Structure 1
Amino acid sequence: MTKLSVNLNAVAQLRNRRDVGWPSVTGIARLVLDAGAAGITVHPRPDERHIRRTDVFELHEVLRDYPEAEFNIEGYPSNDFLALVEKVKPHQVTFVPDDPAQATSDHGWDIGGNEELLTTSITRMHALGIRVSLFIDEDPGVPALAAAVGADRVELYTGPYGATFRLPEGAMHLQALAATASAAKSAAHNASTGGAGLGVNAGHDLTLENLPAFVAAVSGVDEVSIGHGITADALVLGFAEAVRRYRDVLAG
């Protein structure tokens, strides 16, 4: 079964509107983990407009109480970001090619144009035993490049699919995502997987409405990271019920 990692950025952004300390990021983390989420994802940006550095450390402490759950930290591999990750030592780091001013991630890596940065950063993370995933577009040619720089996984950018899933283009995006996932699973790896293919994650604009078709079309996905959609659903359903419904979809 594909694992569900809940991204808490939207919860943090709501909290940051007022200086009252709620909703509690750590409280929601416990709630979704108790409801069956397999992990927590955060994307701390330099301006701390949602997740703050302090949240990262506090969530790390929360996860000590959930030994089976994984902590995934996303971000651009600047020295400041890498230093933060080195202090926390999460299970996984996901490198994204974001400009600090971006509202959200909206494209995958140009791996060839950033080969030195990625190779150096991945090596630095591997020295601490941290799994590395690279955020990529739906392109079957990219996973081999990710494997070449030492990545353990790729995260498929599903935003274009999420925006068009009711349109004819949606089926085209699904086909491309499926082909990219298949290419990742067969990509030769040079390190931690002992020559096996890359793991596959996915995320961005996945919802209860479009996730079933994604699950049916794209096989071999290890983890989906969902934040905005599950938070929106939680406003109606509550977080625990939203987690249960997403897990039901992922179970097929």
Structure 2
Amino acid sequence: MIALSVNLNKVATLRNTRTYNYPSVVRAARTVLDAGAAGITIHPRPDARHIREQDVLDLAELMEEANYNKKEFNIEGYPNARFLSLVKRIKPNQVTLVPDSPDQLTSDHGWNLLNQNSFLFPIVTELKNIGCRVSLFSDAVPNFVEEIAKIGSDRIEIYTGYYFNTFRTPQNASVLKTIVDTAKAARNCGLGVNAGHDLTLKNLPTLVKSVPWLDEVSIGHHFIGEALWMGLEEVVQAYKDRLVLANTIS
């Protein structure tokens, strides 16, 4: 079964429009985990535009509780000194490294892996040594996969923004093929495969049918958007229903 990790950034974005702790990020985490999500994802950016350092600490405490200590805690971010210090303190199950600049709106591209191996290699090694699984955020470029494997990453997270942008257009077939080819290359190199960015209830089934060996999908913006109409518990179930398609392919 492909794991559903719910990104809670947008809950924190809404909370930050007021001076008090509502809606609670921790309550949202409890809700989606109790509803059957395999884990949660957060991205503590330097400007704290959504997730704050205290949220990271509070969620880490939550994930130690008996009800949740078998669930996945994924922290993503650019590996600057502050981020790495926080990760070392928390030791989440997975760290997803992204190449975001401090003022970037969202994670909309992967690492230039042909130029940054020497930068990433010692960071990946250090994170693995403290017990974290490491995933590198990458564009769907099959030729990058071998470089990711050389760096020592455990997984690749394929950026699916272009897949969303072209969905139900003539261009989508070629975009999807590149994702599939990248996922195949990752599997051949012994890497796990995650996917994320702008995955929706509408476009997820096609991706899942094409790459049924995905390990995890991370979904936030559209998940929280659907929750406005359906509720958090119902959206967890709706996305899980889409993921079951991976196990029903003949």
TM-score category, normalised to shorter length: over 0.9
Say which SS state the counterpart of residue 168 (structure 1) adopts. coil
User: Is the aligned partner of 1:239 residue 2:232?
Assistant: yes
- Quote how far apart the aligned CAs of 1:20 are: 2.3
- 1:27-55: per-residue Cα shift (whole Å, max 9, x none)? 00000000000001000000000000100
- 1:75-98: per-residue Cα shift (whole Å, max 9, x none)? 011111111100000000000000
Say which SS state the counterpart of residue 112 (structure 1) adopts. coil
Say which SS state the counterpart of residue 145 (structure 1) adopts. helix
Question: What residue in structure 1 maps to residue 3 of structure 2?
Answer: 3
- Quote how far apart the aligned CAs of 1:208 are: 0.2
Contact 1:109–1:137 under 8 Å retained in 2: yes
1:201 to 188, 194, 200: 194
Question: What residue in structure 2 maps to residue 15 of structure 1?
Answer: 15
Question: What residue in structure 1 maps to residue 62 of structure 2?
Answer: 62
Question: What residue in structure 2 maps to residue 139 of structure 1?
Answer: 141
Contact 1:93–1:131 under 8 Å retained in 2: yes
Q: Give the letter for the 2:52 counterpart.
A: R
Question: What residue in structure 1 maps to residue 92 of structure 2?
Answer: 90
User: Is the aligned partner of 1:100 residue 2:87?
Assistant: no
Question: What residue in structure 2 maps to residue 148 of structure 1?
Answer: 150
Aligned residues, how many? 243
Matches within 5 A, 1:123-138: 123-138=125-140
2:109 & 2:171 partners in 1: Cα distance?
Answer: 18
Say which SS state the counterpart of residue 27 (structure 2) adopts. helix
2:230 & 2:188 partners in 1: Cα distance?
Answer: 39
Say which SS state the counterpart of residue 134 (structure 2) adopts. strand
User: Is the aligned partner of 1:166 residue 2:168?
Assistant: yes
Matches within 5 A, 1:106-121: 106-121=108-123
Question: What residue in structure 2 maps to residue 33 of structure 1?
Answer: 33
2:126 & 2:81 partners in 1: Cα distance?
Answer: 11
- Quote how far apart the aligned CAs of 1:173 are: 1.1
Contact 2:26–2:59 under 8 Å retained in 1: yes
Say which SS state the counterpart of residue 134 (structure 1) adopts. strand
2:212 & 2:232 partners in 1: Cα distance?
Answer: 27
2:187 & 2:150 partners in 1: Cα distance?
Answer: 14
| Superposition TM-score, scaled by structure 1 size | 0.95
1:128 & 1:21 partners in 2: Cα distance?
Answer: 32
Contact 2:114–2:144 under 8 Å retained in 1: no
Structure 1 segments, 4+ long, off by >6 Å, are: none
Question: What residue in structure 2 maps to residue 194 of structure 1?
Answer: none
Question: What residue in structure 2 maps to residue 192 of structure 1?
Answer: none
Contact 2:159–2:195 under 8 Å retained in 1: yes
Segments of 5+ residues of structure 2 without an aligned counterpart are: 246-250
Question: What residue in structure 2 maps to residue 211 of structure 1?
Answer: 204
Q: What is the CA RMSD across the aligned residues, in angstroms?
A: 0.7
1:237 & 1:171 partners in 2: Cα distance?
Answer: 30
1:219 & 1:144 partners in 2: Cα distance?
Answer: 21
Say which SS state the counterpart of residue 146 (structure 1) adopts. helix
Contact 1:178–1:219 under 8 Å retained in 2: no
1:63 & 1:53 partners in 2: Cα distance?
Answer: 15
- 1:100-159: per-residue Cα shift (whole Å, max 9, x none)? 100100101111211111101101101101110000001111111100011000000000
1:148 & 1:104 partners in 2: Cα distance?
Answer: 27
Q: Give the letter for the 1:104 counterpart.
A: T
